[in-house]
Amino acid sequence: NAGVTQTPKFQVLKTGQSMTLQCAQDMNHNSMYWYRQDPGMGLRLIYYSASEGTTDKGEVPNGYNVSRLNKREFSLRLESAAPSQTSVYFCASSLGTIQTNQPQHFGDGTRLSIL
Amino acid sequence: AQSVAQPEDQVNVAEGNPLTVKCTYSVSGNPYLFWYVQYPNRGLQFLLKYITGDNLVKGSYGFEAEFNKSQTSFHLKKPSALVSDSALYFCAVREGNQGGKLIFGQGTELSVKP
């Protein structure tokens, strides 16, 4: 069982380039999330989608856009990459919305470096 | 605003000894508290949660956590540590009446030596 699959696993970009991080889950979950993880700062929510067709900003949305393509897939786009966006990006999903307190299931991350 | 703090960046324990990873929180409503574990180059895995009821919560891999409302703490514990418990541990809080997003602590690196 795959769970949450993120592609690519690693990527190096130059400043100003664009890129889309892909995420897919096979657990029929309703909610999906994008986080970034930086040393000493824990995880910070970028965007989330409570259900197919809806998206909402999280704590650090600037410089990012998202698309909930269907129930399975939730992509994160960097339109013009900046060195400050160098980070490890995690996608997660949960059966219910955040308010139901159900556990989030995480992918293994995309390690993104912007030169 | 809600927040969560993990006061120790690193905890070192000998195998077989009890371990504690500390977490304190700040919310204005009812807290919903979670512990997650992260192994190297992997995503986070859910360990346990406190929503309501018994202050002692049991979770995966023999871990438990104690909710203390007066001290606003939710410390993670295990009676006997294993080398395989070595990982990065995150505490997270969701405030019940504030939109529901999870706020994560900065993480505590647990190292268990044989």
The predicted-structure confidence for B11-67, as pLDDT tens digits, reads as follows: 999 999 999 999 999 988 888 999 999 999 899 999 999 988 889 999 999 999 999
User: What is the DSSP-derived secondary structure letter of residue A65?
Assistant: E
CB contact under 8 A, A108 and B104: no
How high is the pLDDT of residue B109?
A: 96
Nearest to A26 by CA among A90, A76, A73, A96: A73
Is-contact B10 B63, C-beta < 8 A?
no
Partners of residue B90 in chain A, C-beta under 8 Å: 42-43
The encoded tokens of residue A40 equal: 């000493």
- Kindly state whether B106 is in contact with chain A, defined as any CB-CB distance less than 8 angstroms: yes
pLDDT bin (cut points 50, 70, 90) of residue B90 is: very high
Average pLDDT score over residue span B61-89: 96
Which residue has better confidence, A78 or A95? A78
Q: Residue A101 and residue B49: Cβ atoms within 8 Å?
A: yes
Contact between B103 and B94 (Cβ < 8 Å) = yes
Contact present, B19 and B10 (Cβ < 8 Å): no
Query: Which of helix, strand or coil describes residue A56?
Result: strand
Q: Nearest residue of B to residue A102 by CA position?
A: B49
**Type of residue numbered B101:** K
SS3 B61: helix
Lowest mean pLDDT among B63-67, B68-72, B73-77, B92-96: B92-96
* In the predicted structure, residue A82 carries a pLDDT above the cut 90: yes
Residues A74, A89 contacting (CB under 8 angstroms): no
Average pLDDT taken over every residue of chain A: 93
